[in-house]
Every structure is written in structure tokens, then in C-alpha cells.
Amino acid sequence: MTRKMPIIITGGGQRLGLACAKALNAEGHQVIITYRKPREEIRSLEQQGVVCIQADFSSTKGVDDFISTVKQNYSALGGIIHNASEWESEKNSVDPSTLMEKMWQVHVFAPYRINLAFEGLLCAGFEHDGQADIIHMTDYVAEKGSDKHIAYASSKAGLTNLTYSFAKRFAPNINVNAIAPSLLMFNDEDAPEYRNKALNKSLLRKEPGEQEGVLAVQYILSSRYMTGRTLSLDGGRHLV
């Protein structure tokens, strides 16, 4: 079912967020994305009819400005996909306290504030379309932890917990679920040694690509009897 009310994808200018924006737009959904830095893909999305809003969720003001922009222009929403993310390790951080604050700002505070601020818009979307969803993009490390990305892993665990709490708060009209990928796709600069090591961490030993994440999003948006759950996309990594 194609929703008449818009679906927001945060961090929709690259990688998985971009793939989801293209796929949902092709299905006939109204799509709104946020992006932090201008890139060629943004112009292409705009030409395809996707609304692109520049927003930086690493500050409270950035989150509040985005909320204000959406409320000024929309009276209802069909869904929110929280995909905006920061990936940084303690090794590359000068100040661990600043790193922890940044990770929680982007992965926890921003979704928390946005979900609360748009509760009324999502309820209006449910009244119009008969369905409304929130999807949190978490991470496999939320379950296992990471000695190299401690702040990142803890913030993704916080986002996982938000899934349970908002599922309770917004039931029965708004479904709230999460997707927890491990490896979906490599970066172009990733070395062969790193790639081999990463592939060997899962039973399936493959790089599934962004489409695996798109399929998970499409499944959640089509399901009407799932809330407060996490879809794990890890290739059986938990069994290795």
C-alpha cells in the first residue's frame, strides 16, 4: 500500500538512506530526506520529486530547526525512518566525553525529540492512511558491544531501547520497530584485509548490499502486526 502521507528518512543522502529514498519514491510514496552535506545525489533526488532538507542533528539547534521546518510545511506524516548516523571510534577522538555526547546526540536525542515532536503528525497520518510507522536504524553492536567503538555502540543500544518505549507509547496506531544491520556494504577505501576479516565474522560470509536494508524497510512498512521488534541483518553473525 502506497501511503499518501510523506515518509521522512533522516540521513537519506548516501548509502542505505539514499537507497531507501530511491526505492520508496519509485513505489509512489512521498519522500522527505534530511542530509548534512550537499552532494550530487541530493540534486538527483530533488529532480525525482524527493523533498531534501539540510539538517545537522549533532546539535540541539539543528534538531529543533528541522522539527520547526517540518511542522511549518506538513500537517501529517506516514512514517519516520531514523537513519542519520555518526561512525567514530575512541582511537580517532581527541576527547572521549565529546565523542560520547556526539554519539548520543545523533543516535538517541535526535530520534527522541523528533518522535515526540511529530507524534501528532503521525497520528494524523494514521487517520488518513490507516497506518503510520517509526523505524530506528540501530546496529548489530548494540547487542554485543564494541571495544573499538564504545560510545557508538552504547548510543545504538540506547536507540534500541527507545524502540521498546515508543512502541508502548504510540500503540496501537503507530508501529515502532528497529533494523539492526552488521555488514551491508563496504566503503570504497576499505582494504582487502579488512574486507576478508569482516566477511568471516558471519556464517553467510557475504556483502549483501544496500538492497538487503531496503527489503527490511519495505517489510516493516507493509507489516501491520509487528511493533517493538528488531530485524537483525547479520548473516548469522551471532552464531559464529
Catalytic residue among 74, 112, 140, 152: 152
Continuous segment of H or E residues that includes residue 44:
helix 40-47
How far is it, in rounded angstroms, from Cα 67 to Cα 113?
9
Classify each residue of 171-182 as buried b or exposed e, where b means 16 or more C-beta atoms within 10 Å of its C-beta. Answer: eeebbbbbbbbb
- Nearest partner of 16 among 67, 111, 87, 85, judged by Cα: 85
Q: Looking up cell 517493538, which residue turns up?
A: 228
Burial of 110 (0-12, 13-18, 19+ CB in 10 A): buried
Task: Let me know if 152 is a catalytic residue.
Answer: yes
Active site residues: 152
